[in-house]
């Protein structure tokens, strides 16, 4: 069952990647190097473009985008769209970063919404931005909310050129860090759903 769960999650990520890759793309079929920036700022878009930068990463924070389940912050979305427009106005291609490492608090409060280690500790690291990961590996409900959020962001943004994948701790793939509380070898696959697989 664990294998099936991981395969479902991997398949979801693959489908999202393929949707973007297959779409009409200005670099498809071309053999050239392009450069982009992380934490791209609209105020520097023209300067970066003039220096040869062609890709801007448009970072979005899930907790700000959807502070309550199914309720979206229209003011925040308007700010994101304004940044998108600023990058496109100078000719930048867009790479969206969904900010899954910034989940809304309500996701972690879902049943089995948090990873649990072999010591029975649920993972909560609410003090460090980027480390507030939720249990999207074993929990289908969490994955459903992630998928709905991704669909909403892509619908709001319209055409994007690339997706920066990263679903976990500090935007990387993987579990939380092995050191937690007084233990240094934590493995985060002991919640009830994980143990059922």
Confidence of residue 117 (pLDDT cuts 50, 70, 90): very high
* 124: pLDDT strictly greater than 50: yes
State if pTM tops 0.95.
no
Residues 163-176 have pLDDT tens digits of 987 777 777 777 88
Check residue 115 and give its pLDDT.
Answer: 94
In 3D space, the residue among 56, 125, 132, 120 whose CA is nearest the CA of residue 88 turns out to be 56
Instruction: Quote the mean pLDDT of the chain.
Output: 85
Residues 4-39 have pLDDT tens digits of 544 454 444 444 443 444 444 555 555 578 889 888
Check residue 83 and give its pLDDT.
Answer: 97
CB within 8 Å of 16: residues ≥ 6 apart: 150, 163
Supply φ then ψ for residue 40, to 5 degrees: -65, 140
Domains belonging to the chain, first-starting first, are 2-18+34-196 (3.20.20.80)
Higher model confidence: residue 23 or residue 184? 184
C-beta of residue 143 within 8 angstroms of C-beta of residue 150: no
């Amino acid at each position: 069952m664990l294998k099936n769960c991981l395969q479902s999650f991997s398949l979801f990520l693959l489908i999202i990647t393929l949707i973007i890759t297959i779409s009409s793309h200005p670099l498809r079929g071309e053999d050239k190097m392009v450069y982009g920036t992380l934490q791209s700022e609209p105020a520097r878009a023209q300067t970066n473009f003039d220096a040869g930068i062609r890709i801007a990463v448009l970072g979005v924070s899930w907790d700000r985008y959807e502070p309550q389940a199914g309720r979206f912050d229209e003011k925040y979305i308007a700010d994101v769209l304004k940044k998108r427009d600023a990058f496109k106005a100078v000719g930048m291609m867009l790479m969206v970063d969904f900010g899954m490492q910034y989940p809304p608090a309500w996701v972690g409060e879902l049943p089995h919404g948090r990873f649990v280690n072999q010591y029975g500790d649920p993972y909560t690291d609410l003090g460090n931005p980027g480390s507030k990961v939720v249990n999207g590996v074993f929990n289908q409900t969490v994955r459903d909310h992630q998928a709905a959020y991704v669909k909403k962001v892509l619908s709001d943004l319209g055409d994007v050129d690339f997706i920066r994948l990263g679903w976990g701790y500090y935007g990387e793939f993987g579990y939380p860090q092995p050191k937690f509380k007084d233990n240094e070898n934590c493995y985060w696959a002991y919640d009830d759903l994980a143990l059922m697989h």
